Amino acid sequence: MPFAGISFAALDFYEDLEADNSKSFWTAHRSIYDEQVKAPLQELAAELAEEFGSAKFFRPFRDVRFAKDKTPYKTHQGVYFAESRRYLQVSAAGLYASGGYYDMASDQLARYRRAVGEELPGQSLVQAIKLATKSRLELRGEQLSRIPSGFAKDHPRQELLRHKSVWATREFGCPDWLQTPRAKAELVRAWRAMQPLIDWLDKNVGPSDLPVARRGER
């Protein structure tokens, strides 16, 4: 079926799940998740695949083995498009979209900082961010509390140098058009506006060359 929108029933489901995050609630309302959350997002992902690549649906169940919070279910549905570095999420708050590098390994981080520190690529990143903000996007990412060693404390791009991850976001909330096919058009418009930032990251950072086991070493 063609994507027709995301019903407010999906948002209500997550609002109720936040209030009662239990197996009994999940079991009693699983059909709402399947029909109002998973099904329309699968339809949306299928239509987005040609431009943004295949989608990975995150499991609705939380891994609580080492977590202090033992609630068993996620209160959102996330979908990640690895080929284009895009992400979307539906929760009680509505629709959320982002794109960028969410977790840079040590070699990626070194390349990122080197590029930000140099004048030409650094200014190019600043311009990409300006284009994103003009499209109502926000820059986010995990940051150090201080500028990393090897850079002057008064570096003109010290804020960007503190980043350990970089992505652009747009929180759409729950406008009436969310329940219509327009939701796809709004999402695509936001994702396309993220392209200059992602292009910069692809050119200056790229994928990690480290074995998976070593990517957390910074």
Is position 76 within any domain? yes
Collapsing DSSP to helix, strand or coil, 201 comes out as: helix
Domain containing residue 150: 8-207
pLDDT at 121: 97
d(CA 120, CA 123): 5
Res. 202: pLDDT tops 70? yes
Q: How confident is the model at residue 217 (pLDDT cuts 50, 70, 90)?
A: very low
Is position 215 within any domain? no
Is position 47 within any domain? yes
Give the pLDDT confidence of 48-70 residue by residue, as tens digits.
999 999 999 999 998 877 777 78
pLDDT at 212: 66
Is position 3 within any domain? no
pLDDT at 214: 52
pLDDT at 218: 41
Is position 23 within any domain? yes
Bridge partner residues of 98 (DSSP): 87, 169
Is position 115 within any domain? yes
Collapsing DSSP to helix, strand or coil, 172 comes out as: strand
CATH number at residue 63: 3.30.1460.10
Residue 205: name the closest of 121, 126, 98 by CA: 121
- The structure tokens 């299928």 sit at 46
Domain count, the chain: 1
Is position 216 within any domain? no
Burial 105-143 (b: 16+ CB within 10 A, else e): bebbbebbbebbbeeebbebbeebbeebeeeebebebee
